[in-house]
Structure 1
Amino acid sequence: MSDSNWTDRIVGARMSVDQEFSSRIAQSELSSQQWSLVMTATELEIDNPDDPENAQMVANTDKLDQIMPELENIESGMGAMGGGGAGGAGSSSGSSGGLVDSIKGALGLSGGSGVDDAKRDAAEQLTAEYADELQAQIKSNGQWNSVCEAAASETSD
């Protein structure tokens, strides 16, 4: 079930898109650390690889729920270190947040589901944009047909 064959073929394109996409991440509500975590939970797939003309690279974000508490922990940690974020007033008020909130978040007990929904929406939008950019890069490199062929052969195994 490994898709390393076709994904190995696009390493160079991914590196190029990663560099170009960093400015898009800087303009988003996700930090670069949060984006890295989102990408570890995202699987890139090719829908309809048998038909390169109509095939599309998509970002499968089904595993995002598993990392959402950690996204909040990263944000909390950045606020506590003075690294920005939406920490706000009272960040020096001892234990009335920080550690307790981090533990609650890790256990999925934090009450701020609105923040989680906003982060998840941002992550889904950004991963979709990333997949589109990556597909465009692979096409411009002239690799799209061979990548689709490799992906199609893996799905038929």
Structure 2
Amino acid sequence: MSDSPWTDRIVGARMTVDQEFTSRIVESQFSSQQWSLIMTATEFEIEHPDDPDRARIVANTEKVEQIIPELENVGTGMGMGGQPQGQQGGSSSGGVLGSIKGALGLGGGDSGDSHAEQERAAEQLTQEYADELQSHLESNGRWDSVRQAAATEE
């Protein structure tokens, strides 16, 4: 559904929401590069587009599970001061110390648990993004036309 006409209508809105959502990404466990990968694997759909009271944008994250292992390889280049790029100091995402602890078997949990946690966090964050996108469309008076365009595609 990602190449549908209703999604073409919201390209500008998505760019605006992307900029506004940047601070939320900074606060998350994901780097901007990781977020980009997550968004590439996420498709947005409109549930119940023919019902104005129930219609809402939802994040379809079926494909996110496939990219979770790759998140560890994205944005892990070292930046200034030995801090992994895209990572905040004191972050719970691991970094060099987490890698050392993991190599020593002190990581506290296996990668399956970590992957499940990352997947849940990605699903939650993408739905927050979808909610922000819908709110943006509503506040600009564009939601009804987008919703109606999605309804005609079904």
* Cα shift at 1:2: 6.1
* Cα shift at 1:140: 0.7
The gaps in structure 2 that reach 5 residues or longer are: 88-92, 104-109
What is the distance in 2 between the residues matched to 1:146 and 1:63? 28
Question: Identity over aligned residues, as a percent?
Answer: 58
Counterpart residue type for residue 44 of structure 1? F
* Cα shift at 1:91: 6.7
The gaps in structure 1 that reach 5 residues or longer are: 98-110
Computed over aligned residues only, the root mean square deviation of the Cα atoms, in angstroms, reads 2.4
Summarize the alignment of residues 67-78 of structure 1 with structure 2, pairs less than 5 Å apart.
Answer: 67-74=67-74, 77-78=76-77
- Find the partner of 1:87 among 95, 107, 122: 95
What is the distance in 2 between the residues matched to 1:116 and 1:62? 14
Deviation digits for residues 70-121 of structure 1, max 9, x if unmatched? 112225x3369742452334979xxxx7xxxxxxxxxxxxx51121112111
Deviation digits for residues 18-68 of structure 1, max 9, x if unmatched? 001000000000110000000000000000000122201000001111111
Summarize the alignment of residues 71-150 of structure 1 with structure 2, pairs less than 5 Å apart.
Answer: 71-74=71-74, 77-78=76-77, 82-83=83-84, 84=87, 86-89=94-97, 111-150=110-149
What is the distance in 1 between the residues matched to 2:98 and 2:25? 28
Q: With structure 2 as the length reference, what TM-score do the two structures score? A: 0.80
Provide closer, same or farther for how the CA distance between residues 4 and 90 of structure 1 changes in structure 2, counting only shifts above 3 A.
closer
Aligned length: 138
8 Å Cα contact 2:2-2:43 kept in structure 1: no
Tell me, what secondary structure is at the counterpart of 1:54? Answer: coil
Q: With structure 1 as the length reference, what TM-score do the two structures score? A: 0.78
* Cα shift at 1:137: 0.4
Tell me, what secondary structure is at the counterpart of 1:57? Answer: strand
Q: Is 1:154 paired with 2:153? A: yes
8 Å Cα contact 1:52-1:144 kept in structure 2: no
Provide closer, same or farther for how the CA distance between residues 2 and 34 of structure 1 changes in structure 2, counting only shifts above 3 A.
closer
* Cα shift at 1:151: 0.4
What is the distance in 2 between the residues matched to 1:139 and 1:82? 40
